[in-house]
Homo-oligomer: A and B are copies of this chain.
Amino acid sequence: MSVLNETHDPSLKSWVASANAAGSDFPIQNLPFAVFRRNGSPEAFRGGVAIGEMIVDLGAVARLLDGVVADAARAGSESSLNALMAQGSAAWSALRLALSRALREGALQQAAFANALVAQADAEYTVPARIGDYTDFYTSIYHATNIGRLFRPDNPLMPNYKWVPIGYHGRASSIAVSGQQFPRPVGQTFPPGSEQPSFGPSKRLDYELELAVYIGTGNALGSPIPIDDAEAHVFGIGLLNDWSARDVQAWEYQPLGPFLAKSFASTVSPWIVTLEALAPYRVAFERNAGDPQPLPYLDSVRQRERGAFDITLELGIESARLRSQGRPAARVSLTNYRHAYWTIAQMVAHHTVNGCNLQPGDLLGTGTLSGPTLDQAGALIETTSGGKNPFELGNGEARTFLEDGDAVIIRGWCEKAGAARIGFGECRGAILPARAV
């Protein structure tokens, strides 16, 4: 899938004019998947593909297609993408090629496909997959070091970090789609200087800027996925905000890891960008000179040469006041996925090396994707050095942690000369006041 083909040609234009606009997240070279319906309608949720400001309704175009491509479109028209995910990379790729050809300027199928478009402005979305298991990794060494310094000043980066792609199981039931609003979580904390724990709304509510990696085809229990087969099992990538209550986390996380500090909500973007769409943005997987060579099950020439992705990620806070002032969200972070210490293929190979089975629709979070400097930090606890240095929103407000009414907006995109821009849309979530306790 690192091979470029006709679908990546940057000169392709669509007969859907909005797909050709400069800065569009969804040109014809992207074609990401979501599950949608008309806003507020009683229609069933179903799969669709973004083109400019429109959505191709996969169920509606299935009858215009043939053979495996029609099968893929029908699988994609269900209320989750799991059936399409399970069909495998040849099916995904065939569907992409057929859609690319049908949506191009001059396509014979233009009139028929035009009837199968729904405006994104009229759509609402749901979580695009039935997520059986959610695993969150910890692939940014900058995040691991920043957070480690706050929780364990004497021992910021664990000795296992450069050997083991650290990950842990997350909560699948509380994952919702962009637009999610949730009450500030309540729980136990142990404020410094206290004699016993307190109970109440979290005072250190934070976000985590991550990417969401969706498994396409799974593996049987007991049959690991070798590193160079791993990417063929991955359907695509979305945006993820893994909200975190830092005060709850600090008190609960030893010895078994984060639990209620994370399980109250996680937010994903509606759109999943396929690995094939991202092929032009593959980059070498960079290690520093002193870093150890990964163990053989995590290493391959292909991974070293093309295992990482150049994806820009931006996170903004939109306070209630900024919103009422008609001002945009304040950018808190601008980072890039290429800074990750472990690649997607390494996450998959590691996850399955013990025999653990992955299933279509499973979600692997990359972990917070902080870059080397604080303006690239993917969590407020890093940006504000544990709440010590408030972040100015630019309208007189400042934040140490999130306040009620704040919305957090993550965006992602790939851009470079000689390739089409590939965007991820947005992932938005907002904090409501805590329920009464």
Chain A residues within 8 Å of B, Cβ to Cβ: 132-133, 135, 138, 148, 151-152, 158-160, 163-164, 166-174, 176, 182-183, 185-188, 190, 196-197, 199, 221-222, 224, 245, 248, 251-261, 263-265, 292, 295-297, 350-351, 353-359, 362, 435
Partner of A256, one of B257, B265, B292, B355: B257
Contact between A160 and B353, CB atoms less than 8 A apart? no
A138 to B256 Cα, complex, angstroms: 9
Contact between A248 and B185, CB atoms less than 8 A apart? no
Complex contacts, A357 vs chain B, CB 8 Å: 173-174
A173-B221, A188-B295, A199-B296 provided; 16 other pairs, C-beta below 8 A? A158-B254, A160-B197, A164-B188, A166-B256, A166-B259, A167-B256, A168-B257, A168-B258, A169-B171, A171-B356, A173-B362, A174-B355, A186-B354, A199-B295, A248-B354, A264-B355
Q: Can you offer 9 A-B residue contacts whose CB atoms are under 8 A?
A: A132-B172, A158-B254, A160-B197, A166-B256, A168-B259, A187-B353, A257-B258, A260-B354, A261-B354
Complex contacts, A133 vs chain B, CB 8 Å: 171-173
Contact between B221 and A169, CB atoms less than 8 A apart? no
Partner of A169, one of B152, B168, B255: B168
Total copies of the chain: 2
Min C-beta distance of A129 to chain B, whole Å: 13
Complex contacts, A257 vs chain B, CB 8 Å: 168, 253, 255-258
Complex contacts, A353 vs chain B, CB 8 Å: 186-187, 260
Complex contacts, A199 vs chain B, CB 8 Å: 295-297
Q: A169-B168, A295-B199 are in contact. Are A255 and B253 (CB under 8 A)?
A: yes
Name A255's closest neighbour in chain B (CB-CB): B158
Name A293's closest neighbour in chain B (CB-CB): B196
Partner of A221, one of B182, B190, B221, B245: B182
A385 to B193 Cα, complex, angstroms: 36
Complex contacts, A176 vs chain B, CB 8 Å: 221
Contact between B221 and A265, CB atoms less than 8 A apart? yes
Contact between A255 and B152, CB atoms less than 8 A apart? yes
A221 to B243 Cα, complex, angstroms: 14
Complex contacts, A173 vs chain B, CB 8 Å: 132-133, 221, 356-359, 362
Partner of A186, one of B167, B186, B355, B358: B355
Min C-beta distance of A175 to chain B, whole Å: 10
A277 to B420 Cα, complex, angstroms: 64
Contact between B258 and A164, CB atoms less than 8 A apart? no
A183 to B354 Cα, complex, angstroms: 9
Complex contacts, A263 vs chain B, CB 8 Å: 169, 351, 354, 356
Partner of A174, one of B167, B221, B256: B221
Contact between B354 and A185, CB atoms less than 8 A apart? yes
Complex contacts, A355 vs chain B, CB 8 Å: 174, 182-183, 185-186, 264-265, 435
Partner of A292, one of B135, B196, B297: B196
Min C-beta distance of A346 to chain B, whole Å: 12
A164 to B189 Cα, complex, angstroms: 10
Contact between B256 and A160, CB atoms less than 8 A apart? no
Complex contacts, A158 vs chain B, CB 8 Å: 254-255
Min C-beta distance of A237 to chain B, whole Å: 21
A159 to B188 Cα, complex, angstroms: 13
Partner of A255, one of B148, B187, B297, B350: B148
Name A159's closest neighbour in chain B (CB-CB): B190
Complex contacts, A359 vs chain B, CB 8 Å: 173
Q: A167-B256, A295-B197 are in contact. Are A190 and B160 (CB under 8 A)?
A: yes
Complex contacts, A164 vs chain B, CB 8 Å: 188, 197, 251-252
Name A167's closest neighbour in chain B (CB-CB): B259
Complex contacts, A172 vs chain B, CB 8 Å: 132-133, 172
Contact between A197 and B138, CB atoms less than 8 A apart? no
Complex contacts, A297 vs chain B, CB 8 Å: 199
Contact between A196 and B354, CB atoms less than 8 A apart? no
Contact between A188 and B163, CB atoms less than 8 A apart? yes
